[in-house]
Structure 1
Amino acid sequence: MKLTIKTSVQQSFQQVWAGFTEDLFNKLSPPFPPVKVIQFDGCRKGDEVELELNFLLFKQRWKSLITDQQRTDKEIFFLDEGVKLPFFLSFWRHRHRIIKDGNNTIIADEIEFRTPTLLTNYLFYPLLWAQFAYRKPIYRKALAKRRRI
């Protein structure tokens, strides 16, 4: 299954890239399930990110490896791939694209995922869409140009 969510941010794409930090990652975490960052190396090739998802009655670990990261004069992207996934996922690949759009930026979250069955793929899709749609106002607020007073 594939899912793409795009968000326009009023900021240069270099500044948006600079804002992809552990602090932003924590802000992007949805209210449920609560996420605890175990390891956050960054967003460059070879970096690892490990999370603990708390579903109240049980916890699940999620570990991803940044397998690619490239930059051109129009785009910066990095690719995270699931190494250890929660039981409800059997495959995860997430391309984070930071695309120059004039003086602004488009953040494109391009996700490929699989769950254990075709039925659960379709059941999981709207939940995943909601989790990433939740990020849109956070991206805009956290990465927007700061106004001088």
Structure 2
Amino acid sequence: MQILLKTKVEQAPKAVMAAFDRELFIQLKPPGVGLKLLRFDGSETGDRVEMQLNFGLFKQNWRGRITDHGEERGGYYFVDEAEGEELPFFLKKWRHKHWVLPADSGSWIVDEIDYEAPSGLNLLLYPSLWLQFAYRKPIYRKYFRLAGPERQ
């Protein structure tokens, strides 16, 4: 299954890409899910991200790695994947390509997500995952808001 979301922000692509760090990662946590960040190396190829998700009645570990990063289409990207890594029981495969692309007076943050759930759960899981990533849109806008002449 695929999810694609685009968010317009006010800062230039280079500044936005540089801010994809531990602090932003924690701020993007969806409501209703406890998150314990166990490891966050960064957003470059070979970096790892490990977390424990707390859903109240149960906890699930998630271990992923950054499999690619670079410059393309006038912007920047990095890819986090978790296939064959440790994933919550409701996912078999995860690939999330983060794009930061130039836009008039700012950037587009594009979340391009491909996932696979166990048999029959792809469509059932889609609304929940879509909402969790749509929740990021106002956070991105606020986090990357600039005033006046600082805008690049």
TM-score normalised by L of structure 1:
0.94
2:141 aligned partner: 140
Q: Distance in 2 between matches of 1:50 and 1:16?
A: 22
What's 2:88 paired with? Answer: 86
RMSD: 1.3
Answer yes or no: is the 8 Å Cα contact 2:73–2:101 preserved in 1.
Answer: no
Q: CA deviation at 1:146?
A: 4.5
Question: What TM-score, normalized to structure 2?
Answer: 0.92
2:122 maps to 121
Distance 1:41 1:5, change over 3 A: same
Using the TM superposition, give the Cα deviation of residue 73 of structure 1 relative to its aligned residue in structure 2, in angstroms: 7.0
Secondary structure of the structure 2 residue equivalent to 1:65: strand
Is the counterpart of residue 46 in structure 1 residue 49 in structure 2?
no
- Out of 94, 97, 115, the residue aligned to residue 95 of structure 1 is 97
Tell me the equivalent position of 1:67. 67
Q: Separation in 2 of the partners of 1:70 and 1:111?
A: 18
Aligned length: 147
Counterparts of 1:63 and 1:106, CA distance in 2: 27
SS in structure 1 opposite 2:67? strand
Q: Structure 1 stretches of 5 or more lacking a match?
A: none
Q: Shift of the alpha carbon at 1:94? A: 0.3
Structure 1 residue ranges (4+ consecutive) displaced by more than 3 angstroms after TM superposition: none
Question: Deviation of residue 106 (structure 1)?
Answer: 0.2
